Amino acid sequence: MNILGLSNCIRKESAKDKVTITPANLGQRRKSLWVGLLAGIAAVGGGLTLAYGGPIAAAGLSLTIVAALVILRDIEVGFWAVIGVVCLLPFATIPIDIGLTPTILDLALAGTIGIWSLRVVTGRQRSIITAPVTVPLVIFMIVAIFAFIFGLGNGPITPSLLRHFAELLLSLGFVLVIIDYFSSWKRLERIVVVIILAGAAAAATSIILWLLPDFTANDALNSLQRVGYPGGFVIRYIEENPELSERAIGTSVDPNALGGLLLMVAALASPQLLAKRKVLPVWLLILITGLILVALILTFSRGAMVGLGVGLAFVAIARYRRLLPYMFIILVIFLLLPFTQSYLARFVEGFQGQDLATQMRFGEYRDAITLITRYPLFGVGFAGSPDIDLYLGVANVYLTIGQQMGLLGLAAFGTVVGVVMAYGFLNRHCFRGNEILDPIWLGTYAAVIGGLAVGIFDHYLFNIEFHHAVTAFWIFLGLAVATTRVGCLISGGQEQCIE
């Protein structure tokens, strides 16, 4: 073979071996680069942590890195992780003391938002889906930041305060990520299933702990101190009196916070019982709903029970009016049963203002209104009260926002909620009569409405000390908006949204 022929042959072979770089290949290479980088960090970090922090810390760090790798490959797993942590281990932290120890929920939220941001920055996602609530929500976040800055002089600036406020912003910003990512009905159905199953697991855990002897249950909860949970005697009773009934707390630490979570999950699941196309088998839905209702009753959270009643009333009025008489009959039977009399007595005492908890609430309401009138614009922030005769903390979401963010913050929050409700109401026709879309739409809005109702009696859905409860409410609000948007697109014939 002459030199010219050999040269031509080499060129032909080179052409065969040449790899064409396409956007898909480039994206795959970028993903591989990030996976490799994280794997390297995991190896180095794991070795250092094992050397200086011990095997438990090393195992925790390794699990965190593995979770990050999984989320990097499929961001939807990140949303599932957030929900799982909210329901089952809301106060768990990484087992490494670095001065400012983040919770697992912090890492799950930040990781999911970070991967979503990375998709946008690297061009894998070329557009961001918004909704009418986007601008009001951003304004609410800005008002919160101003209130936080203006209130820094009212109390000590601690790492815990900074972390809690950052967590609040994470939870609010997570709504925007939810609206963008859940742009197909299949994704919405999957996340609803995850929420219902996680809520059922939380309910089952709380029932099991309630059934155990008090000291056995307390020892089980104290074992969670290794991951940042409080220690000591954590079992809760009505009016903190061991002579009265024990209240279910699960792993949520507080019975009212657990009740708020369970009522929203129950409101989401209840329309599925009557749906023609259910997201889960009917026997499983009945079992799950029963577990959640039993656990909710055992919390003795009157506000949560009222919130669930309001959410279910919305479902009945909006879609199943024929069930209203049956719901009333069931309520009457429940109130007449012998073992519910003590529960009923608690409600009567609350409405009459006779029990200690309700009397304390009335005092908190008066002090909160006084504080708001003294600092009406931006409130006093999140650090503390500037007046020695008044304090931050009131069992009411709306007064809590008024205290911390003033009337501007309360107006911004009202605008966010108003826009979400108006968005759903004005697009109700997209779901009416649609047996596939309607149950999930009803469930998400029932959960939000139930959360708003319980906010009249408790503050956990906007209490920076209870990050998981805040996150749960805003997740449901984001899903309500996403459900409305996608459902309207499907009703308008844009079938690609069903993917």
Give the tens place of pLDDT for each residue, 152-191.
Answer: 888 888 888 899 999 999 999 999 999 999 999 999 999 9
Give the confidence band of 48 by pLDDT, cuts at 50, 70, 90.
very low
- Find where tokens 């108006």 sit: 422
Looking at 73, 99, 121, the residue that finishes a domain is 121
Looking at per-residue confidence, does 12 or 290 come out higher? 290
User: In this predicted structure, what is the pLDDT of residue 361?
Assistant: 74
Do 219 and 254 have their domain in common?
Answer: yes
Position 273 in a domain: yes
Residues 360-398 as b or e (16 or more Cβ within 10 Å = b): ebeebeebbeebbeebeebbbbbbbbeeeebebebbbbb
- For the ranges 143-147, 382-386, 464-468, 472-476, which has the lowest average pLDDT? 382-386
Q: Which amino acid is at 271?
A: P
Q: Compute the distance between CA of residue 265 and CA of residue 288 in angstroms, rounded to an integer.
A: 10
Q: Please check the confidence at residue 139 and state whether its pLDDT lies above 50.
A: yes
Q: Which two tokens stand for residue 430?
A: 């997209």
- 404 inside domain: yes
Please tell me the predicted confidence (pLDDT) of residue 54: 46
Per-residue pLDDT tens digits for 425-443? 999 988 887 888 899 999 9
Do the beta carbons of residue 260 and residue 458 sit within 8 Å? yes
Distance CA 312, CA 320 (A): 10
* Average pLDDT rounded to a whole number, residues 98-118: 84
Question: Residues in the chain, how many?
Answer: 499
Spatial separation of the C-alpha atoms in residues 419 and 133, rounded to whole Å: 6
Q: Are residues 232 and 373 in the same domain?
A: yes
How many Cβ atoms from other residues are within 10 Å of residue 14's Cβ? 9
Residue 10 has pLDDT above 70, yes or no: no
pLDDT of the residue at 15: 44
Find the range with the poorest average confidence among 54-68, 194-208, 376-390, 405-419.
Answer: 54-68
Among 121, 155, 187, where does a domain finish? Answer: 121
User: Domain check: are 319 and 369 in the same one?
Assistant: yes
- Strand 246-247 with 236-237, pairing: antiparallel
Q: Does position 98 have pLDDT exceeding 70, yes or no?
A: no
Give 53 or 424, the one with higher predicted confidence. 424
Using DSSP's 3-state secondary structure scheme, residue 277 falls into coil
- Domain co-membership, 80 together with 221: no
Residues 365 and 276 in one domain: yes
> Which residues lie below 8 Å from residue 391, measured CB to CB, with a gap of 6+?
367, 384, 385
Is the pLDDT at 393 greater than 50, yes or no? yes
Residue 200 — very low, low, confident or very high, per pLDDT cuts 50/70/90? Answer: very high
Asked whether the CA dihedral 69, 74, 77, 82 is positive or negative, the reply is: positive
Which pLDDT value is given to residue 357? 66
- What is the per-residue DSSP string for 99-128? SS--BHHHHHHHHHHHHHHHHHHTTSS---
Q: What are phi and psi of 93, to 5 degrees?
A: -120, 165
Mean of pLDDT values over 106-127: 86
Which residue is listed with tokens 């799982």?
84
Please count the structural domains in the chain.
2
The average pLDDT across 377-401 equals: 85
Q: Which residue has the higher pLDDT, 265 or 354?
A: 265
User: Is 128 inside any structural domain?
Assistant: no
Residue partners of 397: CB distance under 8 A and separation at least 6: 452, 455, 456, 458, 459, 461, 462
Q: Is the pLDDT confidence value at 397 over 50?
A: yes
Enumerate residues 6+ apart whose C-beta is below 8 A from 99. 159
Q: Is the pLDDT of residue 3 over 50?
A: no
If asked whether residues 175 and 214 sit together in one domain, one would say: yes
* Domain membership flag for residue 69: yes
According to the model, what pLDDT value does residue 368 have? 87
Residues in a beta bridge with 103: 93
CB-count burial class (<10 Å; 0-12, 13-18, 19+) for 31:
middle
CA distance 328 to 309: 11
Report angle CA 479, 291, 280 to the nearest 5 degrees. 50
Portion of the chain with pLDDT greater than 90, in percent: 44
456 in the same domain as 317: yes
Predicted confidence band of residue 123 (pLDDT cuts 50, 70, 90): confident
The identity of residue 101, as a single letter, is T
Q: Looking at the predicted structure, is the pLDDT value of residue 207 above 70?
A: yes
d(CA 380, CA 387): 10
Question: Does residue 395 sit in the same domain as residue 297?
Answer: yes
245-256 pLDDT, tens per residue? Answer: 899 999 998 999
Q: How many CB atoms lie within 10 A of CB 5?
A: 9
Q: Is residue 126 part of a domain?
A: no
The confidence score (pLDDT) of residue 52 equals 43
Which secondary structure element, helix H or strand E, spans residue 16, and what is its range?
helix 3-17
Q: How far apart are CA 485 and CA 482, in angstroms?
A: 5
Residue 120: C-alpha distances to residues 67, 407, 497 (Å): 21, 35, 20
Residue 13 above 50 pLDDT?
no
Do 366 and 484 lie in one domain? The reply is yes
Angstrom distance (rounded) from CA 163 to CA 464: 9
| Domain of 319, in residue numbers | 134-498
One domain for residues 96 and 205: no
Q: CB–CB of 101/93 below 8 Å?
A: yes
Distance, in Å, from the CA atom of 362 to the CA atom of 367, rounded to the nearest integer, reads 9
* For residue 7, pLDDT beyond 60: no
Q: Name the burial class of residue 29, with classes exposed (0-12), middle (13-18) and buried (19+) by CB atoms within 10 angstroms of its CB.
A: exposed
Residue 10 domain-assigned?
Answer: no
End-to-end alpha carbon distance in the chain? 57
CA distances from 191 to 268, 377, 424 (A): 11, 38, 19
Average pLDDT of the chain? 82
Contact 469, 260 (CB under 8 A): yes
Domain contains 146: yes
- Model confidence band, residue 16 (pLDDT cutoffs 50, 70, 90): very low
What does the pLDDT average to over 196-207? 96
SS3 at position 380: coil
Percentage of the chain modeled with pLDDT above 70:
78
Q: Are 48 and 167 part of one and the same domain?
A: no
User: Which residue has better confidence, 489 or 142?
Assistant: 142
Which residue spans within 315-470 are E strands per DSSP? Answer: none
2 domain-assigned: no
CA 484/CA 68 separation, integer angstroms: 31
Same domain membership, residue 69 and residue 104: yes
The pLDDT assigned to 386 comes to: 84
Listed residues 90, 121, 152: the one ending a domain: 121
> Among 63, 59, 71, 81, which residue's Cα sits nearest to residue 34?
71
What is the DSSP secondary structure assignment for residue 430, as one 8-state letter? G
pLDDT at 95 over 80: no
